[in-house]
Structure 1
Amino acid sequence: MTIDTLDEAYRRLHRTGPEFEGWLSNHGPMAVEALVHHGHDAGVHRWLDSYLDRLDELPRGVNPIDDWRAALGDPKRTGDWLAYFARTVAETPWRTVLATWWPRLLPGIAASATHGVIRVGHAVRALRDHTTPDRVTELGQALAYWAARWQPVPGAGAAAGTSGVADASDRLPRVPCQDGGIRDRLTQLSDVPGWPTALAGLRPPTGPDDAPRLLAEVVHRASLDFLRFGHANPVMLVHTVTAPTAVLRTLPELAPELWLPSLDAAWSATAAVTAAYAPAGGATPPPITVDSAEEAFDRASRNGDEHVVKLADAVVDVYAGTGDRSALAAAVYAAQLI
């Protein structure tokens, strides 16, 4: 990995806000981290040259964050949150900041269609690879975005059922009106018959040490489900894979007592986005042949869409853990759809 490439890319991006055109998420920090992580350094600045033109300036803070609980989930305080975390990560070791704020932010994992937690997951991986001031700054901006858009999943709680991941996924109901933005769709979940039961139906792990294994199963299943459902809304359904991946990557930096609630939150995010965007009946995707993880990511990189790149980054991890080429096919399918 070329350290300077990612730090330079972060430096260019940190002058921009976490959203643009009103509410769209700035995927730049996540995409460039994935590209560099997979050795595609050479194309990062060229990709950024075109992407940066779409972005807004970094919002400035007005009122300091005093009561953090009251400010959670208030997008009008985005600039204030950015200032708060810029100061926090400058004064406190990044692992301490993560340990303090992860349990505070985790219940609001649906923030900005899960982009808050996804951006944090990419930042944590970059810091684990190499700690630099620019990567610390990125973690601060990622946490600030999560805090500003903090949003719980209705009905979320601890897994308490008897179903494995595949059965639990198959039993998820759908919102009655799959229209509008994610906030409108998630609001419907409270009134969906059987939603709380389906969400709690996942069999819990045998203990904290079993949580990473079960979370990896959630990611694996979501990648296969993308092949069945991705045609319906490929951009949004990418997050059924990338959100739990972000949590899974962060687990090694968290105390074991946070692993079970992290699993529960990740499952709730995947389940909620599935319920909000996946059709009730799946389709059979066209035959897709992909021979290696490198090929899958190369094809995603050539496609260039930030969602395709992030999905490829996630399913390469799935393949590394399972050897299942069908997971890699999800990234190729996304490149065909987006």
Structure 2
Amino acid sequence: MDSRNDSRNPQKAPLTGGAGSPATDGTLDEALERIHVAGPERDGWLSNHAPMAVEALVRHGRAETVHPWLDRYRDKLEDMPRPLTPVTGKNWREALGDPRRIADWALWFERETADRPWREVLTEWWPRLLPGIAGGATHVVIRVGHAVRTLLTTEETAPRVTELAHALGYWAARHQPITGLRALPAPAGAAAALDAVAPVPDRTAGIEARLAQLTALPDWPAGAGQAPDPETARTRLVELVTAATHRYATHGHSDPVMLVHAATAPNAVLRTLPALPRTLWAPSLAAAWSASAAVTAAYSALTPVAAPGPVPAGPEEIFERAAAHGDDHTIKFTDTALDIGDERALVAAVRSIELNTPFL
């Protein structure tokens, strides 16, 4: 059986378990409660990776590492900013994309998810937020993807719903559309399309300056503007995540931290699809491609290297190595690589462990 199909079915990859399991012993909820007093950013723009990393650690059976990891990470956290003006059903458009309103947006989505089922809130806001998928260096959608995966496969506890509220609020505050791009002819297949993405000319600045240099992207997978049906959209999204994960092994050395998002951002979208109406799957694919291609243009190595040889370890051991390594991006990328599950994805995961600086 294709491991990708198996891992994409939330019912086949549950986080829940029996008494005393990581899902039921309170570890995740305790960690999220610790995290939610902090804001989603620090130092003005760097993302708080804690909720995403701890979710991955718990999911892969490393719950005992969560609180020690958070103890080390807490120096990277800042308090949630003070609210400015409440977001309402009438003024939300003017607040969209305003990072000064991070706390306002978090409170808005806390109220929304308290008053309505979280799936209903997600369905309403997903198409509004989707054009700004590049915001926060794509961490906005990645955080949502981790939150939704938990809610789809575990009990809907208050901290887990609050995590989705904060993730959506972060996305709304950092909403950053990429507009005005020309559509270039694209080769068939996600791997070839990523290879066809032209690098931005100036790579000395941060991600916002790099994204501002984008003028065109290959028109994959839509072709002549024809949206695929929902099942085809999902299949192509799996193809994109697979290609971006594999590609890291040969192109991640230039910027091993930032290039992981070419895979983890579309994978966050893929994780969210089961919670969305099928009518939103095709636009979700298009947005995921724009995010993955933009990160590729900004951070992929100009000259590839040969991929390492076969890995002498299985998925569980590789994730244990990532957890011991401790770097948040490495943990999240390895989590995505295990979703793919094939040999090339595991090679890429090991490569991320080798390239990134350990967080000890």
- Asked if Structure 1 and Structure 2 have the same fold, meaning a TM-score greater than 0.5 normalized by the shorter chain, the answer is yes
- Structure 2 residue corresponding to 1:84, chosen from 84, 88, 108: 108
1:43 is matched with which residue? 65
Say yes or no: does 1:335 pair with 2:353: yes
Distance 1:219 1:205, change over 3 A: farther
**1:85-234 maps to which residues of 2 (within 5 A)?**
85-129=109-153, 130-155=155-180, 163-190=188-215, 195-196=216-217, 198-200=218-220, 203=223, 206-234=228-256
Deviation at 1:24, TM superposition (A): 0.7
Task: Pick closer, same or farther for the CA change 1:250–1:290 going to 2, 3 Å.
Answer: farther
Shift of residue 22, structure 1, vs aligned partner? 1.6
Pairing 1:172-321 to 2, within 5 Å after superposition: 172-190=197-215, 195-196=216-217, 198-200=218-220, 203=223, 206-287=228-309, 289-319=311-341
Amino acid at match of 1:252: P
Displacement of 1:86 in angstroms is: 1.6
Post-superposition CA distance 1:86-126 (Å, at most 9, x none): 21111111111100111100010001010000000000011
Q: Within 1, Cα distance between the matches of 2:229 and 2:109?
A: 33
CA contact (8 A) 1:34 1:310 kept: yes
% of aligned pairs identical?
51
Task: Let me know the Cα RMSD of the aligned residues.
Answer: 1.8
TM-score (norm 2): 0.87
- The answer (yes or no) to whether the contact 2:185–2:219 under 8 Å persists in 1 is no
SS in 1 for 2:178: coil
Instruction: Give the Cα separation in 2 of the matches to 1:153 and 1:38.
Output: 34
Matched with 2:84 is 62
Shift of 1:168: 1.2
| Correspondent of 1:2 among 1, 20, 23 | 23
Name structure 2 gaps, 5 residues minimum. Answer: 1-21
Letter in 1 for 2:27: T
TM-score (norm 1): 0.93
For 1:149 and 1:220, the matched residues in 2 are separated by: 27
Distance in 1 (CA, whole Å) between partners of 2:181 and 2:164 is 26
How far apart are the structure 1 equivalents of 2:338 and 2:221? 28
SS, match of residue 213 in structure 2: helix
C-alpha distance in structure 1 between counterparts of 2:43 and 2:352, whole Å? 24
Specify the code of the residue in structure 1 equivalent to 2:177: P
**Contact conserved, 1:18 with 1:58, CA < 8 A, in 2?**
yes
> CA-to-partner distance for each residue in 1:113-152, whole Å, 9 max, x for gaps?
1000000000001111221000000000000000000011
Please give the alpha-carbon distance, in whole angstroms, between the structure 1 residues aligned to 2:158 and 2:183: 36
Superposed displacement of residue 290, structure 1:
3.9
Amino acid at match of 1:182: I
